[in-house]
Structure 1
Amino acid sequence: MNSVKQSFNKSKEPTYLFIISSLILFFCSSLRHGLFQSTAFDLGIFDQSIYLISQGKSPVNTFMDFHILGDHAAWVHYLLAIPYVLFPSVHWLFLIQAFSLSAGVFPTYHLSLDAGLNKRQAQAMMFAYLLYPVIFNGNLFDFHPEVIAVPLLLWAILAARRNQIWIFTGCLVFILGCKAVLSLTVLGLGVWLLFLEKKRTYGAIAMGMGLAWFILSIQWIIPSLSGAEAGAVGRYSYLGDSVLGILGNLILRPQQTLGILFSLDNLGYLVLLFAPVAWGWSRVSFGALVGAFPAISLNLLADYLAQKDLVHQYSLPILPFLIIGLISSLAAGKGLFQQRKSIIIWSLITFACLAKFTHFGGRYLSAIDNLPQTYEAIALVDTKGGVYTTAQISTHLSHREVIRFTNPSRPEEDLEQFDYILLNQRHPGWASDGTFVQQIMDRIAKDGSFDTIYQEQDVFLFTRN
């Protein structure tokens, strides 16, 4: 009981930082969304599915045309639907994302103190965590349930070191529920705990749970509900067209990976990944990378460039292990800096160089010229009928059973399945273009099944008559 009280009292140290960080992250993601910069992939997918769950309906997502569990087997969506029952709003997802990413300061602080760092160093580690660019950038890029796993990985490590087996196991359960591929990170965590931390029981639990969920989700849940292999398989097509085929070629024909592994893209990615933590990285830090090995390997082996930057969410599972590596280095008296001020300055410099806050002064203002008209048109969509619109506008209208976005590679043959068609000719949206928008408008004019109820500043809203 005394240890619990002591832990609570220590938690007061990062509380203010948690609150400030949560507010900043929530404001930034909400502002980006309000400027029509979020898209159907991925915010619309999650928002529509979670809304349908909250309404007691089957979460068959119409952006992908299959059950949401067929995407990444992320059953945490059912928990995320709870606040939607009270009040359905996409801002719940932004709030949960901001809270989750900011909450990592608590286990970071306790892990630092438990490792023997002084209070000022523990505070510096919280800043190093929050200022790591993928925290800010990942928060901006729509919403992804794996953000919940970031603090949980740190809590799981803390629980293992404190011999709190039930907390450890509970953390793993929720981590696995965030995304199927995190089963590999849990497996890596188990290997690290078993061989480097000498936590046999905890390592065995993590390895067993990770392997079991990987097999169950990848080989049964996802194929059963999507009718196909896991979505990311295409990023490793040079190794095979199935998960088992890819694994087989990695083992039997590793030479096939050489061209991808030893590339300038991967070199640049590794520089980006380690630059924010270079101030404290040392020989003793590398052991922690055993846990991050699956996530790093997936990113290095992919032929998808978004997995090789700190802009998207793919490096989030790596961050907890980078933090552990820094803590280990500081505890051993290694690294370039030991002082709080120097650590924070380095973190601020790399944040300023790699965080995408500058987008708010340029890229995110690209659709501002007819922003009021877009909102006016959205307000006229006053039923839950089917909607056909741009990828960016779709995230503002995804609380319905049928919604699709304009995509020349997947044109809609039957427009009469929709009650509303909302187009922005000036800003056609992600995956679309002005020519395709004009083709849709020509079809509407020729068909005669829709009436124009709004037309201002190249924003058009049609409703089925």
Structure 2
Amino acid sequence: MLSSLIHPSRRPFVILAVLYTAVLFSSTALQHYLLGSQVWDLGIFEQFNWLIANGNINQISSLRNITPLQDHFSLLLLPISLVYKLSPNAYTLLALQSIALGSMPAVAADLCLRQGISRRLTWALAIAIVLSPYCFLVNRGDFHPDVLTLPLMLVAIREADHKRRWLYYPCLLLTLFAKNAQALFGIGLSLYALAKGQRARAGITLAISLLWWFVATELSSAGGDHVGIRLAYLGDSKLEILTTLITRPWVVFNEAPPDSILLYSLGLSLPFLALMGRSSWRALLGCTPIYLTNIISASSIQRELNHHYSIGIVAFLIGGCIDALTHAPPPSLQRAKRIVLATLLLAMAAFLGYGRVSYFSSRYLPRLQEAQDFQQAKRLIQPNDSVLTIANYAAHMAGRPMVKQLEKPGYGAVDQYNWIVLPAADVPINIGGKLKPVKRSKIGDTVASIREQAEAAQMECRSANASIVLCSQP
């Protein structure tokens, strides 16, 4: 019944999207189960959704020390929390994100076929998306609301020069509602619309985006201005930052070495290079607000492919490919085959070079026994019990009113918690990308100290199994 509703020309791309979604969810779910997720940001967003889903939108998160909307003012958490309430666990959030990313081959293919682009070249774009290391990595073991808006961003880009408004502005607004910094995408979209000759739409888009930025940034000021903090080395105000960039642009390389910028840029663009053309310049112009912010940031994570900061760039890259394929003369069969082959080779090179598939064997699978032991011990803890634990474990226990990670100062007296969940001294945990026994890691002394404090406070500490130590109130 469902397949009959799908046009035959789109059906193969829908099947590809379903398979791609399954791969994305399987990999991220496996990484999460194998303790490859961190409390920043999967655990934080799970606790935000738990609070909203349970009617506590104004309650302070124990992991973030602010209320859910004070972190980037993400209004998109409101509908997400409704889904989360149906199945309250981190896998629900990871599934939603996998569906959004996994739908991209079908969404892009539909847009291509509507423009009359050949099926062969449409397949080339679908291959580029599926083998993009960024789309694979940004979904692995983490969650961010702005990643869910990738299909909406692409639709907004394609609707920028259409007369109809009913689809363009809702997509723009939903994209902005993911977080305050999504205004950078809105500013880029206004540049794209201007380059397309849509001056009125560009002005309205810019006004909406700037208004959202100012309002959302003010309402989330308790969470800090992350963009301002990461550009503070350039000056104390926006005017000083611009002045420094114009007069002394080389200072950027003190924080962002040229080789890191080059590797970052290649990892993002390599799968799509063979599909780009002269008409892609408008989309490349559109991604400049996000791209420039990332490459001049003092925080190197904005130039890493496993973080969400580049999701808007990917939308513009796909949009640029569609622009090029739409306006270029129909290629000969031989040239179309060369484009498909080049795309496949470049995308495979990018995926093999950046995909970090080997992390499963080196970082995650060796923790299988620990993961099984942790899940066994976790069953003893009730949903509303307060917990103190390490960041890896907190990412699995965030759906509760009180959970804190012992790596962060300020967790207070240990006897205020119902449970303290610790790794055993000989358990190898991931520290800086390497597995080390807890007792020889940088948190080894902290773990031992926490247990001593718990026992001194008359808490009962015992080995739940070979990997996990539980301390509980008598």
TM-score (norm. length: structure 2): 0.88
Q: How does 1:303-342 map to 2 (within 5 A)?
A: 303-331=298-326, 332=328, 338-339=336-337, 340-342=340-342
**Once structures 1 and 2 are overlaid, which stretch shifts more, 116-125 or 165-174?**
116-125
Aligned twin of 2:185? 185
User: 1:303-362: CA deviations, max 9, x gaps?
Assistant: 222211323222211011111222333342599963334423432232222212222222
Aligned partner of residue 344 in structure 2, secondary structure: helix
Counting only pairs closer than 5 Å after superposition, residues 40-55 of structure 1 correspond to structure 2 as 40-55=39-54
Corresponding position: 1:253 with 2:244? yes
Q: Give 5+ residue unaligned stretches, structure 1.
A: none
Whole-angstrom distance in 1 between the partners of 2:412 and 2:317: 49
Query: Mapping of 1:439-454 within 5 angstroms?
Result: 439-448=449-458, 450-454=459-463
Residues 48 and 68, structure 2, Cα contact 8 Å, conserved in 1: yes
Q: Percent identity?
A: 24
Aligned to 1:99: 99
Q: CA deviation at 1:42?
A: 0.5
- State how 1:119-268 maps to structure 2 within 5 Å: 119-194=119-194, 196-218=195-217, 220-223=218-221, 226=222, 229-240=224-235, 245=237, 247-254=238-245, 255-261=247-253, 263-268=258-263
Single out whichever of 357-366 and 43-52 deviates more from structure 2.
Answer: 357-366
Q: Residues of 1 paired with 2:358 and 2:134: CA distance?
A: 15
Q: Does the 8 Å CA contact 1:43/1:395 hold for their aligned counterparts?
A: yes
Render the CA deviation track for 1:60-117: whole Å, top value 9, x for unaligned.
2211110121111111111111122223122111111011012222331233234442
**1:29 Cα shift?**
0.8
Q: Which runs of 5+ in 2 are unaligned?
A: 433-441
Report the Cα distance in structure 1 between the residues aligned to 2:242 and 2:448, rounded to whole angstroms: 50
2:461 paired with 1:461: no
Give 1:382's aligned amino acid. Answer: Q
Give 1:161 deviation, angstroms: 4.0
SS at match of 1:37: coil
Q: Distance in 2 between matches of 1:211 and 1:295?
A: 14
Is the Cα–Cα contact under 8 Å of residues 125 and 275 in structure 2 kept in the other structure?
Answer: no
Please state how far the C-alpha of 1:364 moved relative to its aligned partner: 1.6
One-letter amino acid matched to 1:43? L
The answer (yes or no) to whether the contact 2:414–2:450 under 8 Å persists in 1 is: no
| Counterpart check, 1:298 vs 2:293 | yes
Q: Is the 8 A contact 2:53 2:81 kept in 1?
A: yes
Cα distance in 2 between the residues matched to 1:268 and 1:90: 31
Query: CA deviation digits over 1:267-290, x for unaligned, max 9?
Result: 332233332223233443232111
TM-superposed CA distance for 1:430, in Å, is 6.2
CA–CA distance in structure 1, aligned partners of residues 262 and 350 of structure 2: 18
Contact 1:377 1:454 in 2 (8 A): no
Distance change (3 Å), C-alpha of 1:139 and 1:69? same
Q: Deviations over 1:445-464 (max 9, x none)?
A: 2222x112544324211112
Residue aligned with 1:460, SS: strand
With the length of structure 1 as denominator, give the TM-score of the two structures: 0.90
The letter for the 2-side match of 1:100 is: A
Does 1:26 find its partner at 2:25? yes
1:436 maps to: 446
Aligned to 1:74, the other structure's residue is in SS state coil
Distance 1:428 1:446 in 2: 26
Distance change (3 Å), C-alpha of 1:185 and 1:383: closer
Hey, what's the Cα distance between the residues in 2 that align with 1:152 and 1:135?
15
Q: Distance in 2 between matches of 1:420 and 1:284?
A: 59
Instruction: Give the Cα separation in 2 of the matches to 1:365 and 1:155.
Output: 38
Shift of 1:263: 2.9
> Is the Cα–Cα contact under 8 Å of residues 363 and 430 in structure 2 kept in the other structure?
no
Q: Deviations along 1:139-162, whole A, 9 cap, x unmatched?
A: 104111111121111111233344
- Residue type of the alignment partner of 2:356: K
CA positional deviation for 1:34 = 0.6
What is the one-letter code of the residue matched to 2:413? D
Matched, 1:84 2:109: no
Pair 1:183–1:12, CA change in 2 (3 A): same
Which segment drifts farther, 163-172 or 428-437? Answer: 428-437
Of residues 168-177 and 317-326 in structure 1, the stretch that sits farther from structure 2 once superposed is 317-326
* In 2, Cα distance between equivalents of 1:38 and 1:30: 10
Q: Which moved further from structure 2: 355-364 or 24-33?
A: 355-364
What amino acid is aligned across from residue 358 of structure 2 in structure 1? T
Distance 1:338 1:295 in 2: 32
Within 1, Cα distance between the matches of 2:270 and 2:360?
24
**1:177-222 CA distance string (max 9 Å, x none):** 112111111111012112x21123432332121111011111x111
Which deviates further from its counterpart, 425-434 or 13-22?
425-434
| 1:10/1:169 CA distance change after superposition, 3 Å | farther
